[in-house]
Amino acid sequence: MRGKIKLSDMSRSDRTPLTHVRNEDLMQLPAPLHDPAHDRGWTPLSEQTRARYECGLDGTCAVNVPQPKTKQEEEALVARFLSGLEKLFTRENNWTFLQPLLLTMEHCARCQTCSEACHIFEASGNNELYRPTYRSEIMRRLYFKHVKGGGLVSAWQHGDIGLNWSLIARLIELAYRCNLCRRCAQTCPIGADNGLVAHELRKLFSQEMGIAAKEIHDNGSMLQLKAGSSTGMNSVAVKDNVEFIDGEMTEKTGIEVKTPWDVSGADVLLIHNAGEILAWPENPGAFAVILNAAGISWTLSSEAAGYDSINYGLWYDDAQFARVAIKHAEAAKKLGVRKIVLGECGHAHKSLSVIADRVLLGDLNIPRESSMTLLRDIVVSGRIKLDPGRNDFPVTLHDPCNVVRLMGVVEPQREIIRKICPKFREMEPHGVDNYCCGGGSGFAIMSGNNFPDWRFHVSGRKKLAQILNAFRDCMEPSVPKYLCAPCSNCKGQFRDMLSYYGLWENHKILYGGLAELIVNAMTDVKPGFIEWEWH
Amino acid sequence: MTVTLYIFTYAAAVTFISACAVRIVWFARAPLHLRWELYPVPHEPPARAEHGGSYFEEVDWWTRPSRFHLFGELRFMIPEILFMKGLWEFNRRLWFRSFPFHFGLYLLTGAAALMGLGGALSISDPAFAAGTLGQIIHGLCRVTGISGMALAVLGAMGLLVRRLTDHTLRIYTTPGDIFNLLFFLVTLGLSAAGYWSRSPTTPGMIALTKGLLTFDSSLEIPGLLASGLFLWALLIAYVPTTHMSHFIAKYFTYHAVRWDDAPTRRGSSLEARLAGYLTYRPTWAAAHVGADGDRTWAEVAATNPAQESKK
């Protein structure tokens, strides 16, 4: 089937997947993972999943769309899709992205320059289904046919595509085979944006059809709006957990650590991704150590969503996005802080600093900045004493797409690392030309069915190759190595992917945040803040 | 036939300008979107633009004066517009086909501008064509026209061969794509053939332009050349109705999307525009959105579906 996939295959009414990704087709990894025969196998989808859900794309299933039971149900879904497609191109419904979407629909020259920039396409061994323009071309043909009126001349000029439920079901899944890293858009000679197309498709499915990946909607933005955090923690639970972290940090560092809560008029409202508090407590703990030591006036908020910077709406739903962004701003407004500082979470950086900038108006427009810059100023100013010798191990830096390519925060984190990590080495390419970790746009938290196999074998593969290359001179397990990933979602992907390939057990590659490296180098702190243990 | 050609040419010019204007207005009047910039943004100060950094790299960035480096944008734009630098970097094989085609069209546009200038000056000074300036313009016209024609033909043929032979492009190629390239090739070929096969008594291109400007029906234009010029008129009218009008789109994709990093400041005109959008009444049908067509965008954003579903 590979190499022969056509656009019209998307409308095939059988539910046989259009492709099966095979290890031997994938981009080769560097040593020690270079032999495809020794690569991990794929878990097949269960009979039950295939019988219940739409799995006709590629042998995995991210969204779990139930199969319609009747022809009428299918027709109703098609009608709903068409209604949503039309709304995407109206200013009342989609002022948020109408202009860039129109430009992309109207002006792609189909030159395929973007394809080589896409880590998913490359890692898959150039599987046609994952070419960035494959998804966009279907969307474009639907746009010309169903939004602009279609007709014979239009079909001749723009191409034709048959619309049925099978195509829509596959398109739903295909919208979740893109990390929205927009590396492809960076290379487009015209400025068309295939990442935006995936984003807008997800929006259509969510806002019109009520279809989205469960992890980012039901267990993500909805849970955050209900409980205050996508982790499910309410304000009491989060305070308890942070108090526990304070205790741990005090013991570990030898200095009293106390996290301030709800301090009115504080200079800084720090908002972490609440996942850090549960999964990587040393990161919020390290922030507390650094900010206290530097004498920063700071606070956390116990307001709903004020203690969890995540905003999954960024990836699929403008309404959910705006709701959460407003809650973040309201928490800051209530405390009267001077600014919001975002902890180590890439999508939270972009959500609140960049995208929400045109949603938060009037007194909700409270300045937002990256923790990278605040930490850089603390480190460079000499307000805390640092001994780079404590970080005398190989370190490489992962650039979260949302922080670098999509927000332009590139150097502050490097200034810190260059100052405190004598064995720092860059991945290639890096900065705004980086590759996504493979967990972007929600994938890091999407673990249903056999989707993890896909995100480790395909979407994370290019990054995995970069990591192995960065440490190729010191792969022996006697040398502990640190992959610095200042982003919760990226860390989630690395935790799972490094474990999947046994890179901690066999080669001692550990991942972690930036703040931990700083505390590990602080001379006022007991040595050994970074514990070389898998977490 | 000469008069018909004149009418066709004027109609094509009017169609071209109108279609371009419609497209420009269409994009320009689209609402301001949420920020969607992509770094590097070249109007950042050079020290930051170099590594793709933004003003977000500064602590308390909102307290610092915003700086817009026009030179940085120009340094990006000029090589991009003239030499397709991005394509050179990201798709070298295509550049060898696309660059000659586009640069050839630039040269042909330049030749047309020179013809227009020469024609206009000939009206005011009948001896112009024989004078030094007339000879210079005529010479420049020939050089730019012929080299432009050659490059465009070469490029169009390369692009067409690629479309027809590269299997990765096949499923994305429509009959319209093939037609567009053939249209260019036939137009270029026919006009070149008409130009080369013209007799010594055929009026030159500047004289033809003068005839066009003065509507001089006495000019005799050979059939082959006239056919080429007819096709040019059709092509010029056709291009802005297709995706090939990306010369317009590219302004917006860069300046209004990729490089639009303008922060919203309280009380600004930007904020006023955005406030207007928040009064729109969306109609998205999914239950959690709660867009019933009565609620404004701001009201929808202020609701909490998780709380409402608990009630």
Nearest CA to B55 out of A352, A376, A339, A373 is that of A373
Write down the pLDDT at residue A171.
Answer: 98
What predicted TM-score, i.e. pTM, was given to this entire model?
0.96
Place of tokens 């909607």: A217
pLDDT for B311? 46
| pLDDT at residue B204, rounded to an integer | 85
CA distance A230 to A220: 5
Please, what are the averages of pLDDT over each run of 10 residues along chain A (535 residues)? 80 94 94 91 95 96 97 97 98 98 96 96 97 98 97 96 97 98 97 98 98 97 97 96 98 97 98 97 98 98 97 98 98 98 98 97 97 98 97 98 98 98 98 98 96 97 98 97 98 97 97 98 97 89
The pLDDT score that the predictor gives to residue B168 is: 85
How far B151 CA lies from chain A's nearest CA (Å)? 20
| CB-based contact B257 A100, cutoff 8 Å | yes
Percent of chain B surpassing pLDDT 90: 88
CA distance B148 to B146: 5
Q: Please report which confidence band the pLDDT of residue B201 belongs to, taking 50, 70 and 90 as the band edges.
A: confident
Q: Does A225 touch chain B (CB under 8 A)?
A: yes
In chain B, what percentage of residues exceed pLDDT 70? Answer: 99
Backbone CA torsion sign across B8, B9, B12, B17: negative
Give the pLDDT score at B309: 56
Q: Out of A7, A106, A372, name the one closest to residue B243 (CB).
A: A106
* Edge-first strand listing for the sheet containing A481-484: A424-425, A395-397, A481-484, A509-512
Q: What is the pLDDT of residues B232-288, one digit of tens each?
A: 999 999 999 999 999 999 999 999 999 999 999 999 999 999 999 999 999 999 999
- Interface check for B82 against chain A (CB to CB < 8 A): the answer is no
Which of A4, A78, A89, A111 is the mutation pick for testing B, counting most B CBs within 10 A?
Answer: A111
B75 token code pair: 């340094």
Q: Which of A98, A323, A405 sits opposite B31 (nearest CB)?
A: A98
Judged by a CB distance cut-off of 8 A, whether residue A111 touches chain B is yes
Query: Per the CB < 8 Å rule, is A369 touching B280?
Result: no
> What DSSP designation does A386 have?
B
CA separation for the pair A496, A390 (Å, rounded): 27
Q: Is B64 on the interface with A (CB under 8 A)?
A: no
Q: Helix (H, G, I), strand (E, B), or coil: what is residue A508?
A: coil
The reported pLDDT for the residue numbered A1 is: 44
What pLDDT is stored for residue B126 in this prediction? Answer: 83
Alpha-carbon gap, residue B166 to A119, rounded angstroms: 22
How far lies A242's CA from each of A140, A235, A288, in Å? 49, 11, 10
Q: How many angstroms separate the CA of residue A228 from the nearest CA in chain B?
A: 10
Pairing mode, strands A368-370 and A339-342: parallel
Place of tokens 């150590």: A289
Å from A204 to nearest chain B CA? 9
Measured between beta carbons, the chain B residues lying within 8 angstroms of A7 are: 171-172
Contact yes or no for A373 and B243 at CB 8 A: no
Distance between CA A440 and CA A179 in Å, rounded? 5
- pLDDT score at A400: 98
Q: Could you tell me if B306 lies within 8 Å of chain A, comparing CB atoms?
A: yes
Taking CB atoms and an 8 Å limit, are B52 and A116 in contact across chains? no
Please name the helix (run of DSSP H) or strand (run of DSSP E) that holds residue B75, with its range, or none.
helix B70-83
Interchain contact B47–A (C-beta under 8 A): no
